[in-house]
Amino acid sequence: MIRKASSNDSVARIICFLLVVTIWAFVLPLSVEAAQISAAESTAQLRAATNKILALDATHKLLNTDCIKCHKSEPADIKRAGGKHRTEVTCLDCHIDHLPSGTKTIPQCSMCHDPAKQAHFALGARSVCLKCHRNPHTPLNITIPNKHWVNKACETCHPEKGKEFKKYPSKHSQKNCTFCHPRKHKRIERCLQCHKPHAPFMVFKDCLRCHKPHSPLNIHYASNIPNKYCGACHTDIFKLLSKSKAKHGKFKCAFCHKNKHPTVPKCQDCHQNIHSETILSRFNNDCLKCHRDPHNLLI
């Protein structure tokens, strides 16, 4: 018996080898080696005998249907989640040769995913690809490591995000993409997992009314943003304007402070030639000398 086989896996393998070999013993003229396998006393001997079979028979080429006789997990993986590696290619398209005589046993990804055709395929050798595509037999089962170099990989498909980070530097730009998009592709951490809102009523979607996650200091908002959002920080002005009976009191903050924070308008952007030059010049052209405060006009 084989004493060295320790795990269930290797026992299963060995049983499988024996089975295959028994079958082959009938179909193929390999009885000598089959006998050697039956007589094998250790895993090493079994491997040697199997290898001999795989190498010996010049007339018998391995077929795709043969692999499963000895390898269980890879065909199972492919069946479960092989995606296009199941439908578009076969075992032998990737594993052209077999040990012990074969040299092209494990393919480079670049064999089929031409680095010249797509930046994503030029990230490096197979070992780099396998850092995210951890199992070539389940290629879309991706686990992304939390390392800064992944930014470069993400940017092969999302180049605009890298550009945005550079154009609007912030503390977010210094982070790895995986700081907010950890482990799984398309996963998103929400602002409120890391930040307190400016006011209790604010939820995640509200943050995006003013901030973009990849350029958070470049603050923009739409002209219809409700005043209470500005009021979260400008509490006094918000109260003042809300109470004002003047026509300004009905306006949105963003009607005057247009689009980008902080923008300060001039009265003359909207009001022209209201009073005579002589009166105005006497008050240094300062409208607020008489009207007091745009948020609380004296009327």
Which positions from 105 through 144 interact with ligand HEC, judged by CB under 6 A?
A: 105-107, 109, 111-113, 120-121, 123-124, 126, 128-133, 136-137, 139-140, 142, 144
Q: Which C-beta is closer to ligand HEC: that of 1 or that of 157? A: 157
DSSP H helix total and E strand total for the chain: 17, 0
Give the total of residues touching ligand HEC (CB under 6 A). Answer: 139
As a three-state string, the secondary structure of 202-268 is: CCHHHHHHHCECCECCCCECCCCCCHHHHHCCCHHHHHHHHHCCCHHHHCCHHHHCCCECCCCCCHH
Which positions from 147 through 166 interact with ligand HEC, judged by CB under 6 A?
A: 150-151, 153-158, 161-162, 165
Closest residue to ligand HEC: CB criterion: 83
Which positions from 190 through 209 interact with ligand HEC, judged by CB under 6 A?
A: 191-195, 197-198, 202, 206-209
Kindly state the smallest distance separating residue 188's Cβ from ligand HEC, in Å: 5
Question: Cα separation of 21 and 85, whole Å?
Answer: 28
Does 27 help bind ligand HEC (rule: CB under 6 A)? no
What would the two tokens of residue 252 be?
A: 């949105």
- Omega within 30 of 0 (cis) for the link into 262: yes
End-to-end CA distance of the chain: 104
Does 85 help bind ligand HEC (rule: CB under 6 A)? yes
Does 170 help bind ligand HEC (rule: CB under 6 A)? yes
Question: Cα separation of 145 and 182, whole Å?
Answer: 8
Q: How far is CA 205 from the centre of its chain?
A: 21
144 by DSSP, 3-state: which?
strand
Residue with tokens 């700081």: 179
Does 95 help bind ligand HEC (rule: CB under 6 A)? yes
Kindly state the smallest distance separating residue 3's Cβ from ligand HEC, in Å: 18
Which positions from 234 through 273 interact with ligand HEC, judged by CB under 6 A?
A: 234, 237-238, 241, 246-248, 251, 253-257, 261-262, 264-265, 267-271
Q: Which C-beta is closer to ligand HEC: that of 25 or that of 54? A: 54
Does 229 help bind ligand HEC (rule: CB under 6 A)? yes
Q: Which C-beta is closer to ligand HEC: that of 3 or that of 247? A: 247
